[in-house]
Each structure stands twice: as structure tokens, then as C-alpha cells.
Amino acid sequence: MTDLVLQALFSGLLVGSVYALVALGLALSFGAMRIINLAHGELVLLAAYCAYVVEGRLGLDPYLAIPLALLVVSAVCAVLFLMIDRIREHRELNSLILTFGVGIILTNAILLIFASDARTTASATLQDATSVGPVYAMNGEVVAFGVSLALMVALWWWLKTSWYGRAVRAVSSNRAAAKLMGISPVRTELVSFLVAGALASFAGVALYTMSVVQPALGHALTVKAFIVTVLAGVGSIPGVFLAAILLGVTEALTVTLASSALQELAGMVLFLLVLFLLPNGLFGARARRG
Amino acid sequence: MLRRTVAAASIALATLAGSAARADEILVGAHMPLTGSLARSGQAFDEGMRVAIQMFNARSDKHKIRLQVIDDESTPAKAVSAVEKLVSDGAVAVVGGYGSNIIGPASDASNRLKTTYITAGAVSDELTVRGLKTFFRINNNAGYQRGIGTLLEALKPTSVSILASTKEAPALLAKGLQKDLSAKGVKVTVHEFDPAITDFKPIINKVKLQDRSDILMMSAYENDYVGIIRAAKVLKPPVKLVVGAWSLATPKMSAEFPDLMNNVVGTSFLPYPVEMKDEEGKRFAEVYKTTYNKEIEYLSTLSFVETTILAEAIARAAEAGTLKAGGLPDAMRQTDRETLLGPVQFDATGDNPRFAVAMGQHRAGKVVLVSPPASATGEIVYPGLPW
């Protein structure tokens, strides 16, 4: 039983790190612009398909797809931002509808171009097992964990120390006051959207190297990212990482100790419990109290 | 005025002439999940169906079938709307898409509109107990269960772990297999999993440390197979064989996941490279290859057979002059022929009681039929694992 639980904890940690990677971008655009980008999962998926093109069609290492993914996803993000920026009334609500629609368009574009087949890395190195004591993982999962951790730290550092990072936080706190301080909210929001796109690019490539991708996956990724963002609470980057790990571990333990059929249910119960007990999220509330 | 009258008469004559030219053209509708979560299956179904119509039209002088396909977007509501639209456009029959939860309401709608409905994409037992007079299907859960059960019994395992998606068809198959194998003294452990699951390691670890079964059986779909076998490659449970259900022992899986598929067994109709024994099969393989530039898909074979059977029944009803008088269901019930899937007949519920699948094993890029003995093209490698 100990080995089972240890493997569940380890698997949960690794899966959680990918949830975090997917959620970081959504959390950033939600925190900075108060916009829930319902096309975020599809942006991640777009990056995953860039990795497929680079590996499956060009025969190169899938990690070499990162520049291509950055380029493609950033371009889509910029167009998406320009559309959102044209919304004049009820921005939160209308942007929901807009991004939902863009998500559908992206899913179907991917379907048209790549067909509906499941895709995953063919790299033997990434699929090989690595063990830490009695627990096992794929090399691709370990790399994704490292990337997730590094990006979380980088994003936290960027928000805390860089001019644009501080501008994003200022716009997020009070758009009008930030404008009075000489910050361009539009430019700042564009930057935050592009950074979210960059995070989605890394997430997509990582996802391709450790899991199976197919066109219908985007929506599920958005839902997972949204759950993590709400669990974490707005404005807490380390909170996103910890909330994602908590979700991953909860799901893995549910599979091990109860039934795998209850995995998704367990995640949703956790989500609802946190919403009920801590409406500002696990870490958003704590930050406010602090 | 005269010029206007002549013009109107010309248009009327042209219309009449056009109608006469299309007199033998019969409209058949189809709703397929060409987008959405079932798009992969829907596209494969669409291909087989189109080849069947193309081949029927090529050999039929009197009756030509025109196909109208609507994308049901993998949703039941859209499928119902599609059936209503197709029937209102004049379709004499509807070819159903994929998934019992979609086929159920769509075939209900078709029955309400007194239109024949045929499917090869829904195996739920509940579909044939509704007493619908216009519903037909060529494959069923019992046939899959028989095919897999025959192989497992021949291997005489002491224990089997079944990983089953909670979707209707895989769950039904898992329950049936559990019941059959348990009755024969085999220890069976079922691990149901949510279709959204991506990491199968915690489940495989249970198979490795708790079940310690001889056979790892997957009742699931393509994405799940890849995730499960990958997790099994990492954890290496002490099983002797990995077996799966539909859409696994296919050339496509072999080509796309060569490192995961070797020695894996799944339900199959044809070996690969394809060896067709009859003329119809050879022609199907030829037209399919010419049209789509690839080997025949597993699901395309199913839709090819169902569409061919429907087209032949339509021709019979048209010949008898009963097509427009609701005679198609009776013509369907007259079906009794050998197909690429084996014999097809319809019982009173519209089901094909003679449906049975063979089992194919991946072997270095090929698929060898290993069970039942009558269909086998080679011996099974057992124990045989993909790692």
C-alpha cells in the first residue's frame, strides 16, 4: 500500500505541474485583465500541434518546436487581444463569448489541418522510464515538471521586479489609477496576453512530450486551468502552482484509494469545497489577510 | 408576351426533363460526428460509407444513390436535428453515426418519421429493446464480447485486469466480460476510469502491485490505449498479454505508435497487410486506397458493410415498388449475406445476431489474426508484451 500511495503522490505531483503550466497563462490574463480566456486550452493545443509538426513531419526534436510555438501562439494571442480590445461594453461577459467562439474556431481549424487522430511524441528517450526509489515516471514528465517550476519562478520574478510586471499588477489593481501614473493599460494588457501566450506555448510542447493530444482536448484543458486558477485565487502565482499540485495529487489519490472513475468528481468536489469555504481561493484569501 | 411564354415553357420542360433524368436517384442521409470529440471515428465512418455508395452506383444501372451527410458535431441534439433535416429533404433512409448516446435519440427521431435507420457505431443492448421497427444495426456488444471472450478462454488465464472507460460501450463490454470470465473461474478485477483521465500510472500500479493479473484488458478508445500502454511501459506490470477492444489492431495504430503496439491484441476484421478473400473485399480495398491513399480503417470497414447492405435493400424495395410505401424495413429484414464482417442477418429487433469479431495481434508493423481458429492467419505470441 505504501508503494501505491507513494506512486500516487509522485504521479499527482507530475500531473499537477502540467496543470500549473497550463493554468499559469490563464491566471495571468485573468489577473491582469479580469478576462477569462476560454480559448486558452486551444492555444496550448496549438502549441502542442506545433511540436507534432516539428517532430512528426520534420523529424526534429519536439523541444525545437518552442520557437515555432511561441511565434504561432503569440500571433493568435495578438489577434485575440485586438478583438477583445474592441469590446466597449460589458468586457468581462462579452470577452467570455468571444474567446469561447475563438476556441471553437481554433479546435476546428486544428481538426481540418491535422485530422482527428491522437498525437504524441515518438521519442524513445522521452518515453523511457525514470525511477526515484520505488516510484516511476516518464522522462518527458520529469522535464515538464522542471519546465513548469522554472516558468513559475520566472513569471513570479517578472511580475515582481520588471517594469512591465509591475505595470501588469498596477493595471490589475486599478486600471484608472495606473493610467494616471503614466502606464498604458492597452499596451500592458497586450504584453500580459503575449506572456500568457508564451506560457501556453511551453505548456503545449510539454503536453505533447508527455501525453496524448487530439483536437477535442482544448476545452478540457481550459476547464482544468480554470479550476486551478479559481482554487489558487486571483493574483497568486505560487498559489497557481500549489493549487495545481493539490488538484493533481487529489486526483491521483482518488484513483489509488477509491476508484479511477471518481477522479474528475474528486477534482470538482475540491473545487466546490474551496469556493464554498474560501471564496477568494486558497491563496488569494491568505494574501488578503496577510 | 410570346417570348415570355416560350421562356416559361422552356424552363418547365427543362425542369421536367431534369426530374426524369434523376428519377432513379435515391437520397440517403447520414449524420456523422465529423467534428467534436468523436471526429476521428466519424471521419473513418464517412470514408467507408462514401466508398460503399461509389461502388454501389458503379454496379447499379437502375438505381443511383445520392448521399447527403450532416455533421452532428458529436452531440445527440445535433444528430436529432440532422435526422429531421435529412428526412425533410427526402432521404429514404439514414445511416447513423457513432456512439450509443447519439444513436439512441437519433434513431428514435428516425422511427418517429417512419424512416429506416442503420448503424454500425452503437453497441448498447438498450438500443434493440425499444421495439423500433425501422432500426437496424450490424454489430453489437455480444459479438465483441464473444470475440474477446473466445481468445481469453483459449489462453486460460487465472486472472484478468480490465481497465474500462466509463463511456457506455466500453463499460458494457467490461461488465459482460467480467460476468463471463468470472463464471469460468477466472479472477477478474475491473478498474473503471473517467474518459478525461490522462495519467494511467496510478491504475497500472494497482494492476502491478495488487492484481498481478495474467492479462491486461483495455475496454476503451484509441487515446486511452496509448495512455494505458505508455503507463504500462513505464511501470511494467507482470502481465503476459495486453488486449484491447475496437480500433486497436489497426494499421493506423501500428503506423502511428509502432513503439507501443508490438504484440498488443485487439478486435479486428482484417489482417494487415490486407488480404481480401472475395471480390467485394478486393474492390473495396482498391477503391478505398485510390480514394484516400491509405490502408482500410477499421471503422471504415464497418460503415462500408452497413451502407452496402442498406443500398442493396433500397434497390430491392425500389424493384418491388415498395420503397415509397414504407417497404424498406421489410427489404432490410430480407438481408442474408456474407460480408467483410461475416454473415449479416437482422432479427425482429433489428440486431445482427450473427455478428462476431476476430482478434488481431500487432507484429512488427503487421496485424495477424490470431483468434478464432477459423479466421486465424497465424499463431498468437503469448506471453507477448509491447515492452
Of the candidates B227, B233, B252, the beta carbon closest to that of A212 is on B227
The pLDDT of residue A218 is above 70: yes
* Strand arrangement of the beta sheet that strand B116-119 belongs to: B64-71, B25-32, B93-95, B116-119, B135-137
Split at pLDDT 50, 70, 90, the class of A258 is confident
Residue A258 at interface with chain B, using a CB cutoff of 8 Å: no
Q: Where are the domains of chain B?
A: 7-140+278-345, 143-274+358-371
In chain A, alpha helices (H) = 2-33, 40-52, 66-85, 91-114, 124-127, 139-161, 163-173, 175-180, 185-210, 217-232, 237-257, 263-277, 282-289
Cβ distance B306 to B138 under 8 Å?
yes
pLDDT of residue B375: 83
pLDDT of residue B299: 87
Residue B35 at interface with chain A, using a CB cutoff of 8 Å: yes
Residues 6+ apart with CB under 8 A from B61: none
Coil, strand or helix: which one is B344?
Answer: strand
Interface touch A4/B210, C-beta < 8 Å: yes
Q: What domain range includes position A135?
A: 2-289
Alpha carbon A290 to chain centroid distance?
27
Distance CA A199, CA A203 (A): 6
pLDDT of residue B275: 76
| Residuewise pLDDT in 10s, chain B (387 residues) | 445 544 555 444 444 444 444 547 899 999 999 887 788 788 889 999 999 999 999 999 889 999 999 999 889 999 999 999 999 999 999 999 888 889 999 999 999 999 999 999 998 888 999 999 999 999 998 899 999 999 988 899 999 999 999 888 889 899 999 999 999 899 999 999 988 888 898 899 899 988 999 999 999 988 889 999 999 998 899 999 999 998 888 888 888 888 889 999 999 888 888 777 788 888 999 999 999 988 888 889 999 999 999 999 999 999 999 998 899 999 999 999 999 888 899 999 999 999 988 899 999 888 999 988 888 888 999 999 998
pLDDT of residue B3: 52
Cβ distance A127 to B230 under 8 Å?
yes
Q: What is the pTM of this model?
A: 0.82
Cβ distance B243 to B215 under 8 Å?
yes
Residue A125 at interface with chain B, using a CB cutoff of 8 Å: no
Which of A19, A25, A23, A204 is closest to A119 using CA atoms?
A204
Residue whose grid cell is 493549487? A243
Window B:327-346, CB contacts with A under 8 Å: none
Distance CA B40, CA B232 (A): 25
Looking at beta carbons, which pairs linking A127-136 to residues 24 or more positions away fall under 8 Å?
A: A127/B230, A127/B233, A127/B259, A129/B233, A129/B234, A129/B235, A129/B236, A132/A10, A133/A6, A134/A3, A134/A6, A134/A7, A135/A3, A135/A6, A135/A7, A135/A9, A135/A10, A135/A11, A136/A7, A136/A10, A136/B201, A136/B234, A136/B235
How far is A142 from chain B, CA to nearest CA, in Å? 13
Residue B61 at interface with chain A, using a CB cutoff of 8 Å: no
Dihedral pair phi/psi, residue A55, rounded to 5°: -85, -50
Of the candidates A15, A136, A264, the beta carbon closest to that of B235 is on A136
Residue B223 at interface with chain A, using a CB cutoff of 8 Å: yes
Split at pLDDT 50, 70, 90, the class of A70 is very high
How many structural domains are present in chain A? 1
Interface touch B202/A255, C-beta < 8 Å: yes
Cβ distance A188 to A178 under 8 Å?
yes
How far is A225 from chain B, CA to nearest CA, in Å? 14
Distance CA B214, CA A107 (A): 40
pLDDT of residue B64: 94
Residue B189 at interface with chain A, using a CB cutoff of 8 Å: no
Question: HSE-up of B140 (CA within 13 Å, CB side)?
Answer: 22
Distance CA A64, CA A121 (A): 13
What burial class does residue B126 get, using C-beta atoms within 10 Å of its C-beta: 0-12 exposed, 13-18 middle, 19+ buried? exposed
**Bond preceding residue B383 cis, omega within 30 of 0:** yes
**Kind and range of the H or E run holding A130:** strand A129-132
Interface touch A118/B40, C-beta < 8 Å: yes
Architecture of domain B7-140+278-345: 3-Layer(aba) Sandwich (3.40)
How far is A170 from chain B, CA to nearest CA, in Å? 38
Distance CA B96, CA B307 (A): 10
What angle (nearest 5°) sits at the alpha carbon of residue A36, between those of residues A35 and A37? 105
Residue B294 at interface with chain A, using a CB cutoff of 8 Å: no
Coil, strand or helix: which one is A177?
Answer: helix
The pLDDT of residue A21 is above 60: yes
Interface touch A256/B206, C-beta < 8 Å: yes
DSSP B248-288: -SSHHHHHH-HHHHTT-EEEESS-BS----SHHHHHHHHHH
The pLDDT of residue A67 is above 90: yes
The pLDDT of residue A199 is above 50: yes
How far is A112 from chain B, CA to nearest CA, in Å? 9
Give all strands (DSSP E) within chain B, no chain letters.
Answer: 25-32, 64-71, 93-95, 116-119, 135-137, 159-165, 187-193, 215-219, 241-244, 265-268, 336-339, 342-345, 358-363, 366-371
Q: Which of B34, B40, B162, B199 to substitute to test the interface with A, most A CBs within 10 Å?
A: B199
Residues in chain B with CB shorter than 8 Å from the CB of A124 are 259
Residues in chain B with CB shorter than 8 Å from the CB of A117 are 40, 252, 256
How far is A9 from chain B, CA to nearest CA, in Å? 9
Question: HSE-up of A276 (CA within 13 Å, CB side)?
Answer: 6
Residue A114 at interface with chain B, using a CB cutoff of 8 Å: no
How far is B257 from chain A, CA to nearest CA, in Å? 7
pLDDT of residue A73: 95
Distance CA A13, CA A249 (A): 6
Interface touch A117/B40, C-beta < 8 Å: yes
**Of the spans A234-243, A248-257, B19-28, which averages the highest pLDDT?**
A248-257
Residues in chain A with CB shorter than 8 Å from the CB of B226 are 118, 120, 212
Of the candidates B35, B43, B223, the beta carbon closest to that of A118 is on B223
pLDDT of residue B298: 82
Task: For the beta carbon of residue A6, count every other beta carbon within 10 angstroms.
Answer: 16
Cβ distance A71 to A172 under 8 Å?
no
Residue B227 at interface with chain A, using a CB cutoff of 8 Å: yes
Residue A6 is part of a domain; what is its CATH number?
A: 1.10.3470
Strand partners, B93: B28, B116
CA distances from B247 to A39, B30, B220, B254 (A): 30, 21, 9, 11
Residue B233 at interface with chain A, using a CB cutoff of 8 Å: yes
Give all strands (DSSP E) within B102-151, no chain letters.
Answer: 116-119, 135-137
Could you please state the CATH topology (level 3) that the domain comprising B143-274+358-371 is classified under: Rossmann fold (3.40.50)
Split at pLDDT 50, 70, 90, the class of A112 is confident
Residues 6+ apart with CB under 8 A from B124: B100, B103, B104, B141, B168, B169, B172
Window B:245-274, CB contacts with A under 8 Å: 252, 256-259
How far is A111 from chain B, CA to nearest CA, in Å? 7
Q: Which of A2, A5, A11, A112 to substitute to test the interface with B, most B CBs within 10 Å?
A: A11
Residues in chain A with CB shorter than 8 Å from the CB of B193 are 255, 260-261, 263
Residue B209 at interface with chain A, using a CB cutoff of 8 Å: yes
